[in-house]
């Protein structure tokens, strides 16, 4: 699978996101899904937070990619070279997270921009991007991601605490929904959605009997090194691996990985509650 084409890059810049079907094949995704679902360390480290609608959002988050299968996803050429094309230069790993949206209980995510949080971390420019990789099919019923197409062009919107989640200024979001298209991003396992850090996104609670787990890898441009330390890393060179590394490493979970994986919370010195909520 080559890096994103010029056309896909143009779609990303115009719409704020681009969906790449079948970025990972069935064998690769099967390895990721089996690793994650049987990973006691990933489960043990997961954090749940009430969504205010009766559900709870659960995720596990780590700062450095490591040498396990999650690291091979975050470091493979397919993803990193694509990110470098999108962000126009060298990138480094800002963090990765597994969204564990479980059947019936997996909670909703309120409207937000990732840069609405990351801005608090001393990152000057919105030169960050994420890729969501579907582990399970993502449908309307199990709470697929929703994006407001083109909303990244609004720039950063203020974020406020709403219950246990930080959300974008609701007046702006309401107005934006009147003029921008709301897209439900339905995904098959192995599909990848690259999305801009200023795109407004949310998701509904999972009301279905099926899980909706997704791996999200986030990157910052090397030239956008934060001007102060936060709970996410400053510039750290990223060791790329060939695309074949995913299959070569196979089911290597956190519990099997003896590298120094820094979990969110291990080195967290933040005290403000908005910064605290940024962890998600």
By beta-carbon proximity to Mn ion, the closer residue of 28 and 114 is 114
Least distance from C-beta 250 to Mn ion, angstroms? 29
Least distance from C-beta 170 to ligand SIN, angstroms? 17
**For the chain, give me the number of helices (H) and strands (E)?**
9, 13
CB count, 10 Å around CB of 244?
12
Least distance from C-beta 44 to Mn ion, angstroms? 23
By beta-carbon proximity to ligand SIN, the closer residue of 152 and 201 is 201
Mapping DSSP to helix (H, G, I), strand (E, B) and coil, where does residue 211 land?
coil
Q: Is 114 in the site for Mn ion (CB under 5 A)?
A: yes
Size of the site for Mn ion (CB under 5 A): 1
* Residue 35 contacts residue 69 (beta carbons within 8 Å): yes
By beta-carbon proximity to ligand SIN, the closer residue of 151 and 203 is 203
Q: Which does 29 bind (CB under 5 to 8 A by kind): Mn ion, ligand SIN, none?
A: none
By beta-carbon proximity to ligand SIN, the closer residue of 80 and 99 is 99
Q: Is 24 in the site for ligand SIN (CB under 6 A)?
A: no
Which residues, 152 to 211, sit near ligand SIN by CB under 6 A?
201, 203
* Residue 12 contacts residue 85 (beta carbons within 8 Å): no
By beta-carbon proximity to ligand SIN, the closer residue of 109 and 254 is 109
Which residues, 70 to 99, sit near ligand SIN by CB under 6 A?
99
Q: Is 145 in the site for ligand SIN (CB under 6 A)?
A: yes
Strand-pairing partners, residue 45, are none
Size of the site for ligand SIN (CB under 6 A): 7
* Residue 29 contacts residue 37 (beta carbons within 8 Å): no
Residue with tokens 């956190």: 254
Positive or negative, the CA dihedral 230, 232, 236, 237 is negative
* Residue 164 contacts residue 211 (beta carbons within 8 Å): no
Buried b (16+ CB within 10 A) or exposed e, 85-96: bbbeeebbbbbb
By beta-carbon proximity to Mn ion, the closer residue of 39 and 114 is 114
Residue with tokens 């098959």: 188
Q: Is 214 in the site for ligand SIN (CB under 6 A)?
A: yes
- Between 118 and 157, how does the x/- string for binding to Mn ion read (CB under 5 A)? ----------------------------------------
Name the residue whose CB lies closest to ligand SIN. 203
Which residues, 96 to 115, sit near ligand SIN by CB under 6 A?
99, 109
Cα–Cα distance, 46 to 62 (Å, whole number): 10
Q: Which of 36, 80, 216, 246 binds ligand SIN (CB under 6 A)?
A: 216
Q: What is the dihedral of CA 72, 61, 197, 5, to 10 degrees?
A: 10
Mapping DSSP to helix (H, G, I), strand (E, B) and coil, where does residue 19 land?
strand
Kindly list the distances between the CA atom of residue 12 and the CA atoms of 40, 77, 152, 153, 174, in Å, as whole numbers in the listed order.
Answer: 36, 19, 10, 11, 23
- Angle at the Cα of 230 from the Cα atoms of 165 and 80, rounded to 5 degrees: 90
By beta-carbon proximity to ligand SIN, the closer residue of 83 and 216 is 216
Residues in the site for Mn ion, rule: CB under 5 A? 114
Which stretches of the chain bind ligand SIN, using CB under 6 A? 99, 109, 145, 201, 203, 214, 216
């Amino acid at each position: 699978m080559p890096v994103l084409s010029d056309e896909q890059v143009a779609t990303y810049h115009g719409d704020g996101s681009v969906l790449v079907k079948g970025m990972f094949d069935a064998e690769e995704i099967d390895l990721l899904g089996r690793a994650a679902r049987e990973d006691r360390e990933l489960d043990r480290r997961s954090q749940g937070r009430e969504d205010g609608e009766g559900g709870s959002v659960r995720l596990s988050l780590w700062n450095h990619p490591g040498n396990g299968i999650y690291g091979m996803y975050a470091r493979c050429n397919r993803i990193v070279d694509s990110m470098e094309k999108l962000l126009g230069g060298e990138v480094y790993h800002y963090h990765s997270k597994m969204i564990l949206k479980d059947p019936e209980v997996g909670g909703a995510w309120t409207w937000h921009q990732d840069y609405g949080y990351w801005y608090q971390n001393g990152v000057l420019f919105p030169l960050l991007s994420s890729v969501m990789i579907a582990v399970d099919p993502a449908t309307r019923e199990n709470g697929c991601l929703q994006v407001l197409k083109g909303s990244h062009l609004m720039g950063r919107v203020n974020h406020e605490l709403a219950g246990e989640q930080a959300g974008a200024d609701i007046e702006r979001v309401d107005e934006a929904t009147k003029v921008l298209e709301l897209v439900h991003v339905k995904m098959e396992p192995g599909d990848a959605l690259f999305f801009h850090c200023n795109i407004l996104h949310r998701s509904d609670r999972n009301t279905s009997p099926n899980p909706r787990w997704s791996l999200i890898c986030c990157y910052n441009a090397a030239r956008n090194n934060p001007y102060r330390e936060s709970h996410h890393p400053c510039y750290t060179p990223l060791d790329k691996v060939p695309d074949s590394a995913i299959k070569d490493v196979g089911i290597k979970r956190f519990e099997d990985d003896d590298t120094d994986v820094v979990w969110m919370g291990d080195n967290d010195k933040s005290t403000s509650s908005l910064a605290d909520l940024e962890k998600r």
